Amino acid sequence: MRQIVLDTETTGLSPAAGDRIIEIGCVELLNRRLTGNNLHLYLNPERESHEDALKVHGLTSEFLQDKPKFDQIAQQLLDYVQGAEVIIHNAPFDVGFLDAELERLGQGPFAKHIAGVVDSLAMAKQLFPGKRNSLDALCDRMGVDNSARTLHGALLDAELLADVYLALTRGQELLIEDSHLASSAQANRMDLRGMRFKVLQPTEQELAAHDKLLAELDKASGGKTLWRQLEARQAGDLPPSAVA
């Protein structure tokens, strides 16, 4: 399956008010593997960025003035994403801008050119309700290094989001790998029946640490841990029906 992780930077927050896309970053995943076939474009929006937006992305009008306009790269972008599933963080924002740019060219909505959109922000809100789910917060939560993200940049953010998405959906990768193994008649199988394994016994310090941890867990549960109930039943202090 081909997926594209996409991010944009814009002159402001409202395409309806005339704000435009100034940067597009795309990262390709093929069967959940990064391919390196990425797309990165700077665009001349033919207008100034709002002050607050400029503080976020740092892309000045002077830097963008010699860059192509959206109509000059539109077909390149559409050819690149054609038929792919596109992953975007807070998808309505980016898709709204892409739709506005494509509408000016009579190309139809962005969704017309792709297989579908996955909103990673909506996904994260389902997985972590009530928590911060910005890209930076998810990087911290999923162990993705975002130390290079001093300003927002479309390609860097797409690369970070690709890592975050793969971490969020890691179970899907395992299912795919298991399916491939199960369907392969040539899958290697190791016969362990004749092998002998060395059993390592715990040290006194390890046993003491284990007992201490169990005691802390039992205290935190108010004495309702299953192993304590089993111990009490075996000692005759509880009837069998008292253990769930």
DSSP readout, 181-217? Answer: HHH-TT------TT---PPPPPPHHHHHHHHHHHHHH
Q: What size, in residues, is the chain?
A: 244
Among candidate residues 40, 89, 152, 210, the one labeled active-site is 152
Q: Report the phi/psi class of residue 108: left, alpha or beta, with left for phi > 0 and alpha for psi in -120 to 50.
A: left
Tokens of 153: 């940049």
**Structure-block tokens of residue 100:** 């506005």
Residue written as token pair 């001349």: 44
Verify whether residue 57 is a known catalytic residue.
no
Count CB atoms within 10 A of the CB of residue 157. 25
**Residue ranges in the chain assigned as alpha helix (H):** 51-57, 61-64, 70-81, 91-104, 120-127, 135-142, 154-168, 170-183, 204-220, 226-234
> Active-site residues: which are they?
152
